[in-house]
A and B are shown apart, each in its own frame.
Chain A
Amino acid sequence: EAQVTQNPRYLITVTGKKLTVTCSQNMNHEYMSWYRQDPGLGLRQIYYSMNVEVTDKGDVPEGYKVSRKEKRNFPLILESPSPNQTSLYFCASSLSRGLAGLAGANVLTFGAGSRLTVL
């Protein structure tokens, strides 16, 4: 089944303890992205990646790092989590950026979400 898998789904941690949220897709998608969702603020993009070794900042990158060493994986790293990073996080992927006109090339497939609480 084509899917985006995030882990962990739920995590409670403490301020300053480094953590990584993994994201993996099995669709050979080039584009991957991380979002956070907070009440009243909708979905906001944190980082995105156009392809392997190509990443860029979204709307709210502060406090986060990402890497894209291989096509299928796009982990989100919180080096020193703080309570304001308590949120619901979503990873998403789509086929490609460069295939203009290819139907559905930019349709995003989302993971199930990771609910993170930082105390």
Chain B
Amino acid sequence: DAKTTQPPSMDCAEGRAANLPCNHSTISGNEYVYWYRQIHSQGPQYIIHGLKNNETNEMASLIITEDRKSSTLILPHATLRDTAVYYCIVRVDNAGNMLTFGGGTRLMVKP
């Protein structure tokens, strides 16, 4: 799986969009970008994933650059409940074996 790089922490004002970047410059053609988040010490929660097209669901939007070397997770209207650690993971979609979460980005949403 390709290595990912994320900033260790970010702040965002409540109600504003939170844009969380992820670099994955060694991504290969069949690797997907997945995002999870972990609120306090709860189990990580799936947010969204994509291959090359931008994706949107009820939680967030995922913007992947044309060269696929980086992506941005967008929470359009951040709330205090979105304060969490966000993990960006790159992996082939049918590779169920070994999966490693890195350090992630600690997002702090402030009133």
Contacts and interface: CB of A to CB of B under 8 A. Distances in A.
Interface of A: 4, 30-31, 33, 35, 37, 42-45, 48, 50, 56, 58-59, 88, 90, 92, 94, 96-101, 104-113, 115
Given A90-B44, A107-B49, A31 B100 contact: no
Interface of B: 32, 34, 36, 41-46, 49, 87, 91, 93-104
A107 to B, nearest CB: 5
A45 B100 contact: yes
B101 A105 contact: no
A106 B97 CA distance: 10
A98 B94 contact: yes
Contacts of B103: 42
B93 A101 contact: yes
A45 B96 CA distance: 12
A85 B104 CA distance: 23
A97 B56 CA distance: 24
